[in-house]
Structure 1
């Protein structure tokens, strides 16, 4: 029986299913996301993909999943009713936050409401000092009263975050015992288990979010596993973490906070695998789907990770200064910049007569005007249809019929006429504005971080990424674009490239001057032992465990830290200072003098489960290509105008071909503009040179 690995990636518009057999053959399926119950689209899409390939559900050996369930629960304020127990005097930490404002001069801006309303936040008498010593004993009677009051309010989850519990969790453990005794059915999250780090707001926010989404996540995974089982799929389900690693379903239900941004992470991991395969040490991943566009950086074949991020912050342009808008999670995540630009982004003329694109989206339902589902507001997909870039009859291999006349009429009525422009110029303007919005995301992870985008190759994927990539690259001075096989479902392909990983962090604050290297290595060893234990529980023996140690450092008094590797030998303090100085100069453009004090803030360990055999074959073989298509007129701006453009298949690029041309595939459309040229490389990627 052919063994299969399956991945499923939920997007705002489509859910992507990918099946990979042992010989490297990919079978893909795009279905509309079922917003009310995301599991339905996965189960139905997988059943259809198996049936179309004549494959047995029993052949599936693992299901890899990137999900938006946790992030949607936060964004839609539909998580569990949650209570908070905290140290007396810290009841309003969730309200005070860090006093950071994303809009400094906007008096109308309001911070989002706390996930735990004030009457569900209870204080208890206790106090532990920063060094872990007990200053004030825990008042257990107050804890019992707080728990009973929260139960009377009907809470489904309780978060516990006591001051300095990361230094000594004794009081938090006792509170946990009391909660479990009085309310064993309630979800309980203790901050020293979720995030044993300093910074009171960050620790409280992360613990509360974990409690807030955990009941929802548990129910979702239980339903997904049960429905897959009904369909004959009994394989284990692994969940993509925000940091780019996989974790088992049991771990995911305990700590769903690590899976809040799991979807965007998968595409970057796929781009890293492609970069290693093609020998490209510096690439930018660009993922544009139906709702958002995301950019990430891979350098020296490694992804860039952030130590914290915010959910619900609107447009995530990656700025280190404009923070404070969303709900903060201090957990490692792939460092991404995101903008509200996708195929479903709505095009409109604002009150001042200016053309605007997004961030509002038509989503999966009703979708763009051309879908014929009742939406009357033109979108980016409608504009691309008018420009001739997309198939005027159907998308997704013919499964999704489109009405080009409706798209043109909506764009003319709502955009072209108010602007006094021909409809193709209005569509071109919308296309250009969408591209400029997405260029902001690429700049946020490159030039704003001290990287020159011209020295990178652009890996473009998602349903719309290959359509915009060449124009964006030209504006940025980039010369090479890589479009992988099955580009439209590449985030799901990226899941298949991922490994099981454990990311652990502990606060360990010491100046590097006079640093005790033995104490540092001992603290790392404790983290390493925990990581090895978790990997062993996931079925990885010691010989198939890979451990990496790192530390977060900063100049004394700084607000932000940078992460550097922990050297295994030599003068540890000097080597840490030098690595930190080099990273500071690369990121911020300068470094302090030799005498500036540097301090270690936290230690980190990354444990990776090494698979018995490579998770990806040397070359992916995508599904069968569709029939040849006739050429069609495409519009390339006022200077070039309408050009009769050939519509080709990926296999037509065995030899170098000049633009303009359009490559139509089941899951994506790729545009090679005039002046560019494209060819297939040895791995089946389309390489566009500008």
Structure 2
């Protein structure tokens, strides 16, 4: 049996599946004060509900917001930083405009400082760009730094020395001296965290890991000590799993753990039903995460951000919008209404939770419009529509709007914000959303998916059998993965093919060793080579996969040609023949395939003409009046069942909206496939304003 848990900002979702495909699921309120307890409570709950009561799970899988929460709140212990002489203000300098035609960056305020300037120490040692030692490490100088850090109460020290990506010798000498003199200090080396070009990003990544390492090790240890399984894996931002042992040393890799898991799960499920081009709409309590999946593969980026900090390691390429079910509606100084990014969170939550919340949220609007039932979580959470209605009436009073009018306004604003997020990952990157299906996942994704698809002329919406459990399902189907990088820094004409091949083989050796330590068998191992490329002087690279085992001048030339084509596809032009192409980094992705848990099969009544549980009045996007709508229990809809809008389909962890002139059909494995009816083929018809 495998148990997967995703601890989100508002709810904790958990799924257990045994080798026979039998599963149990649960959704619990998250207690942000103790995420370890949330994880363990979720495991206990789902195991108690599973048919195989008393069976010890073979694996525990974890999607976590622990690292991200710490970065967002700056809730971590003080750390130290060791750099080369003359680079003490490296974090302050970051990337600023350069005179004389250089790239202008630094268009926004720098992120908050992670290491106080008084805790940044300098070393005289120096390497050249090719790794040649110019000034050796002075052991006495390092010993003095170790003593000073130990006496100051610092417990983690980041070490980021110039050109350590070319040769980590100086950083490793520093670490060895610290181990002898101050073994109680955690020393984190940039050559271990991000051995790639760009001093600022490499130093920042090292500091972020240093900030998180003590907290993460404590968090993971607390779970591991009490977890009812010997195999404990965490989801990483790249969409791969890592053991607790490996992740504990690189905690920043889990910062987008839950959202990445949901994308992985959507890609796998889409492939199972023959839909390989899709856009995920993952709406939770605090945010909306959107990602594009093309030909069954989700995109990765090395130009992402984590809590406002640039992050150069591979992560699932998704756009996060601060608008979710708990997002607060407010009037800005310009007198416009906005939804988010501030959220009511799990405590106190929306006004309708009756837990002391006093600011109107998107969930309150859904409830007043009849789009949500009077209770969530299978009846465990009763919603107070009276409280929500009074608050919305007060919120809309200045604009002469009643409660329903205010709720419609909030719904429209949030939906159009989400529409912009979908365009960010599609239109702005050279993809027409009309050619993609929209996957509505998360607790609130199905509430918005069909109406959002209509705005974007997307003809197919897929709502999985358990949309609120997309992240746990992604954990179930994810593989073990790690990315290895080595700086190259050569223009195409100056590339040494032999050096490139040696670099790849070295990275592949590291990859195989890592997977063996993770418990992978040799037959499950895959190694994928790639090169980061850019036009000379540009800030961001494009990663180009390689297919050939041997590296030849022809292979390099073909890769550069692929770079030109991809740049032109996404940007509308290329600089072929004008600008030199730089081969910045070599990359190897090491993957070990895991056995996939059986896909949970939908069970239900055999009637293909389902009867609604009730009829109630429901508000829909761009409809002035509430419409009489049939309400169905999703568990009562068998494969082949068809539901015509306007309708609402409810289940324990999510609610699906079927707008007027749309139809939802249950496929063979329980997905809801929502498409416009014949009269609605050309987009959103019957819009009433």
Structure 1 residue 643, shift from structure 2 partner: 1.1
Paired residue for 2:583, among 570, 592, 600?
600
Where does residue 459 of structure 1 map in the other structure? 439
Q: Secondary structure at the match of 2:9?
A: coil
Does 2:20 correspond to 1:23? yes
Q: 1-side partners of 2:603 and 2:155: how far apart?
A: 46
Q: 1-side partners of 2:161 and 2:605: how far apart?
A: 58
Structure 1 residue 624, shift from structure 2 partner: 11
Q: Secondary structure at the match of 2:493?
A: coil
Does 2:125 correspond to 1:126? yes
Structure 1 residue 639, shift from structure 2 partner: 4.3
Where does residue 336 of structure 1 map in the other structure? 318
Paired residue for 2:297, among 298, 302, 318?
302
Checking the alignment, whether the CA contact within 8 Å between 1:26 and 1:623 is kept in structure 2 is no
Where does residue 684 of structure 2 map in the other structure? none
Does 2:378 correspond to 1:397? yes
Q: Matches of residues 3-402 of structure 1 in structure 2 within 5 Å? A: 4-53=1-50, 55-99=52-96, 110-228=109-227, 233-312=228-307, 326-391=308-373, 393-402=374-383
Where does residue 643 of structure 2 map in the other structure? 657
Where does residue 561 of structure 2 map in the other structure? 578
Query: After the TM superposition, which of the residue ranges 493-502 and 622-631 deviates more from structure 2?
Result: 622-631
Checking the alignment, whether the CA contact within 8 Å between 1:58 and 1:234 is kept in structure 2 is no
Q: 1-side partners of 2:349 and 2:258: how far apart?
A: 20
Checking the alignment, whether the CA contact within 8 Å between 2:392 and 2:402 is kept in structure 1 is no
Q: Matches of residues 544-583 of structure 1 in structure 2 within 5 Å? A: 544-568=524-548, 571-583=554-566
Structure 1 residue 300, shift from structure 2 partner: 1.2
Q: 1-side partners of 2:333 and 2:538: how far apart?
A: 43
Tell me: CA distance 1:105–1:537, structure 2 relative to 1, closer, same or farther (3 Å): closer
Question: Which whole-Å deviations, capped at 9, do the CAs of 1:622-653 have from their partners, x for residues lacking one?
Answer: 79999963111102256451211011133436
Paired residue for 2:667, among 681, 684, 687?
681
Does 2:416 correspond to 1:436? yes
Q: Secondary structure at the match of 2:349?
A: coil
Does 2:390 correspond to 1:409? yes
Structure 1 residue 71, shift from structure 2 partner: 1.1
Question: Which whole-Å deviations, capped at 9, do the CAs of 1:12-40 have from their partners, x for residues lacking one?
Answer: 10011111122223311111111111011
Structure 1 residue 494, shift from structure 2 partner: 1.0
Does 2:612 correspond to 1:631? no
Pairwise CA RMSD of aligned residues? 2.2
Q: 1-side partners of 2:304 and 2:462: how far apart?
A: 28
Question: Which whole-Å deviations, capped at 9, do the CAs of 1:165-201 have from their partners, x for residues lacking one?
Answer: 1112111111111111121111110111111111000
**TM-score where L is the length of structure 1:** 0.93
Q: Secondary structure at the match of 2:570?
A: helix
Q: Secondary structure at the match of 1:553?
A: strand
Structure 1 residue 559, shift from structure 2 partner: 1.6
Question: Which whole-Å deviations, capped at 9, do the CAs of 1:512-536 have from their partners, x for residues lacking one?
Answer: 2264433322211111111011111
Q: 1-side partners of 2:143 and 2:498: how far apart?
A: 42
Q: 2-side partners of 1:666 and 1:289: how far apart?
A: 15
Q: 1-side partners of 2:106 and 2:536: how far apart?
A: 32
Structure 1 residue 353, shift from structure 2 partner: 3.1
Structure 1 residue 310, shift from structure 2 partner: 2.0
Structure 1 unmatched runs, 5+: 313-325
Q: 2-side partners of 1:116 and 1:355: how far apart?
A: 38
Checking the alignment, whether the CA contact within 8 Å between 1:371 and 1:401 is kept in structure 2 is yes
Checking the alignment, whether the CA contact within 8 Å between 1:425 and 1:637 is kept in structure 2 is no
Q: Matches of residues 492-503 of structure 1 in structure 2 within 5 Å? A: 492-503=472-483
Q: 2-side partners of 1:309 and 1:487: how far apart?
A: 26
Structure 1 residue 260, shift from structure 2 partner: 1.6
Q: 2-side partners of 1:624 and 1:74: how far apart?
A: 48
Q: 1-side partners of 2:189 and 2:205: how far apart?
A: 10
Checking the alignment, whether the CA contact within 8 Å between 1:285 and 1:459 is kept in structure 2 is yes
Q: 2-side partners of 1:635 and 1:62: how far apart?
A: 43
Q: Secondary structure at the match of 2:637?
A: helix
Does 2:657 correspond to 1:648? no
Structure 1 residue 438, shift from structure 2 partner: 1.4
Tell me: CA distance 1:371–1:511, structure 2 relative to 1, closer, same or farther (3 Å): same
Checking the alignment, whether the CA contact within 8 Å between 1:513 and 1:573 is kept in structure 2 is no
Q: Secondary structure at the match of 2:614?
A: coil
Q: Secondary structure at the match of 1:501?
A: strand
Q: 1-side partners of 2:235 and 2:604: how far apart?
A: 25
Q: 2-side partners of 1:539 and 1:638: how far apart?
A: 54
Structure 2 unmatched runs, 5+: 99-103, 677-689
Checking the alignment, whether the CA contact within 8 Å between 1:27 and 1:623 is kept in structure 2 is no
Query: After the TM superposition, which of the residue ranges 282-291 and 51-60 deviates more from structure 2?
Result: 51-60
Checking the alignment, whether the CA contact within 8 Å between 1:369 and 1:377 is kept in structure 2 is yes
Checking the alignment, whether the CA contact within 8 Å between 2:412 and 2:621 is kept in structure 1 is no
Does 2:655 correspond to 1:669? yes
Q: 2-side partners of 1:638 and 1:126: how far apart?
A: 66
Q: Secondary structure at the match of 1:448?
A: helix
Q: Secondary structure at the match of 1:244?
A: coil
Q: 2-side partners of 1:638 and 1:502: how far apart?
A: 46
Question: Which whole-Å deviations, capped at 9, do the CAs of 1:350-403 have from their partners, x for residues lacking one?
Answer: 344322211110000000111100111111000000000000x21111111111
Query: After the TM superposition, which of the residue ranges 457-466 and 433-442 deviates more from structure 2?
Result: 433-442
Where does residue 683 of structure 2 map in the other structure? none
Q: 2-side partners of 1:632 and 1:187: how far apart?
A: 60
Structure 1 residue 621, shift from structure 2 partner: 4.2
Q: Secondary structure at the match of 2:269?
A: helix
Tell me: CA distance 1:105–1:225, structure 2 relative to 1, closer, same or farther (3 Å): closer
The alignment of Structure 1 onto Structure 2 pairs a total of residues equal to 663
Checking the alignment, whether the CA contact within 8 Å between 1:15 and 1:31 is kept in structure 2 is yes
Question: Which whole-Å deviations, capped at 9, do the CAs of 1:122-176 have from their partners, x for residues lacking one?
Answer: 0011110101111122222222222211222100101111111111211111111
Checking the alignment, whether the CA contact within 8 Å between 2:65 and 2:256 is kept in structure 1 is yes
Where does residue 402 of structure 2 map in the other structure? 422
Q: 2-side partners of 1:52 and 1:100: how far apart?
A: 58
**TM-score where L is the length of structure 2:** 0.93
Q: 2-side partners of 1:464 and 1:307: how far apart?
A: 29
Where does residue 318 of structure 1 map in the other structure? none
Checking the alignment, whether the CA contact within 8 Å between 2:5 and 2:42 is kept in structure 1 is no
Checking the alignment, whether the CA contact within 8 Å between 1:241 and 1:260 is kept in structure 2 is yes
Checking the alignment, whether the CA contact within 8 Å between 1:25 and 1:622 is kept in structure 2 is no
Query: After the TM superposition, which of the residue ranges 445-454 and 616-625 deviates more from structure 2?
Result: 616-625
Paired residue for 1:519, among 496, 499, 505?
499
Q: Secondary structure at the match of 1:24?
A: coil
